[in-house]
């Protein structure tokens, strides 16, 4: 049976059959949205023996709720296939990312013995640091990562069981770290998460911030949307919308960085981004000065916006149950 599954995964699928146009806002189902900035070019990602193609797309900003989302994405079956074959270790590091350290600080403030749920807990490297103080639960779709989390003292909850019809625990804190951006229907899962909170319980979301300075000028071509599995981006307006829709109080909207970036890398990314923008916009500087500087003039031939991962392009959003 495993061989048959692998053979199915190895088939080169027609790209037109693996993607879908987003007709309605994933955050509120509205049809009132508009492009935000330049369009993003198509690209492909190779995972094992399979290729996943992202067609050209635009970053759409919903006029009703403020969510930012891709106009073209992999369809549900293709995303499911992608997550089944992708190596989840690419999201793992030995320690914690800066945004995770901030979330951990909030978890450590929880009352001893509190029930905490991490949706998309990966190998449990976040919750494993508070199992001595808190009662920790996790949801993880990758079996290997879920097994590692369980070995660290985290009680694993089956994906889909948050529908409260078959899970009765009430949590003091529910966290989603680097998960929101993968959701094709964020409001649906977040509604279940909000319903699972105890009185005064907190819902904490850490994800990319479409309103941040590094992102806002060219959302579609930002490093964030150049990930085939990233479908949506948070905005302050969508956080306000969620608070009203879920019956929660918006406690804080805290900008942060995702990566620890050494100073030399920050300088390199900043210079590359500056040079690319000058040449792509055909500015006076690009025509007169930059074309004579060996390192920077290379940007004249670049076709994609260089990755800029050193800015405060993430946000930690905290909600509290009223």
Same domain, 131 and 215: yes
Q: Report yes or no on 13 lying in a domain.
A: no
Same domain, 36 and 166: no
Q: Report yes or no on 190 lying in a domain.
A: yes
Q: Is 12 left (phi over 0), alpha (psi -120 to 50) or beta?
A: beta
Same domain, 98 and 239: yes
Q: Report yes or no on 220 lying in a domain.
A: yes
> What's the structural domain count of the chain?
3
Per-residue pLDDT band for 227 (boundaries 50, 70, 90) equals very high
What is the pLDDT, as a whole number, of residue 228?
A: 95
Per-residue pLDDT band for 304 (boundaries 50, 70, 90) equals confident
How far are the Cα atoms of 217, 287, 304 from residue 290, in angstroms, in the given order? 22, 7, 18
What is the pLDDT, as a whole number, of residue 166?
A: 56
Q: What is the pLDDT of residues 161-180, one digit of tens each?
A: 555 445 667 899 999 999 99
What is the pLDDT, as a whole number, of residue 167?
A: 61
Same domain, 241 and 145: yes
Same domain, 295 and 315: no
SS3 at position 22:
coil
Same domain, 81 and 102: no
Q: Which two tokens stand for residue 26?
A: 């994933």
User: Could you give phi then psi for residue 200, rounded to 5 degrees?
Assistant: 65, 15
C-alpha closest to that of 153 among 174, 132, 167? 132
Same domain, 197 and 150: yes
Same domain, 178 and 119: yes
SS3 at position 170:
coil
Domain end: 49, 69, 85, which one? 85
Residue 168 structural domain: 93-259+310-321
Same domain, 201 and 248: yes
SS3 at position 306:
coil
Residues 6+ apart with CB under 8 A from 121: 127, 138, 139, 140, 145, 146, 149, 154
pLDDT at 19 over 50: yes
Q: Report yes or no on 3 lying in a domain.
A: no
Same domain, 255 and 124: yes
């Amino acid at each position: 049976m495993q061989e048959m599954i692998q053979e199915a995964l190895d088939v080169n699928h027609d790209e037109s059959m693996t993607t879908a146009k987003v007709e309605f806002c994933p955050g509120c189902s509205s049809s009132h949205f508009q492009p935000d900035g330049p369009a993003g070019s198509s690209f492909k990602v190779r995972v094992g023996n399979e290729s996943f193609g992202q067609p050209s797309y635009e970053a759409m900003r919903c006029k009703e709720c403020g969510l930012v989302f891709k106009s073209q994405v992999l369809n549900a079956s293709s995303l499911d296939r992608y997550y089944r074959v992708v190596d989840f270790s690419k999201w793992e590091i030995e320690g914690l990312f800066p945004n995770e350290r901030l979330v951990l600080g909030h978890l450590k403030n929880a009352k001893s013995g509190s029930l905490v749920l991490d949706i998309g807990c990966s190998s449990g490297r976040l919750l494993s640091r508070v199992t001595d103080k808190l009662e920790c639960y996790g949801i993880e779709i990758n079996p290997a990562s879920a097994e590692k989390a369980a070995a660290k003292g985290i009680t694993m909850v089956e994906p889909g069981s948050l529908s409260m019809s078959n899970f009765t625990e009430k949590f003091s804190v529910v966290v989603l770290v680097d998960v929101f951006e993968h959701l094709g229907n964020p409001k649906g899962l977040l509604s279940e998460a909000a319903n699972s909170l105890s009185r005064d319980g907190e819902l904490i979301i850490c994800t990319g911030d479409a309103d941040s300075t590094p992102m806002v000028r060219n959302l579609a071509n930002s490093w964030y949307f150049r990930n085939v599995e990233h479908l949506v981006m948070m905005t302050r307006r969508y956080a306000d919308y969620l608070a009203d829709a879920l019956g929660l109080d918006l406690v804080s909207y805290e900008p942060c960085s995702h990566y620890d970036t050494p100073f030399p890398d920050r300088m390199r990314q900043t210079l590359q981004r500056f040079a690319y923008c000058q040449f792509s916009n055909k500015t006076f500087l690009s025509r007169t000065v930059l074309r004579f500087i060996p390192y920077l003039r290379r940007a004249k031939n670049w076709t994609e916006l260089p990755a800029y991962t050193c800015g405060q392009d993430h946000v930690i959003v905290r909600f509290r149950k009223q």
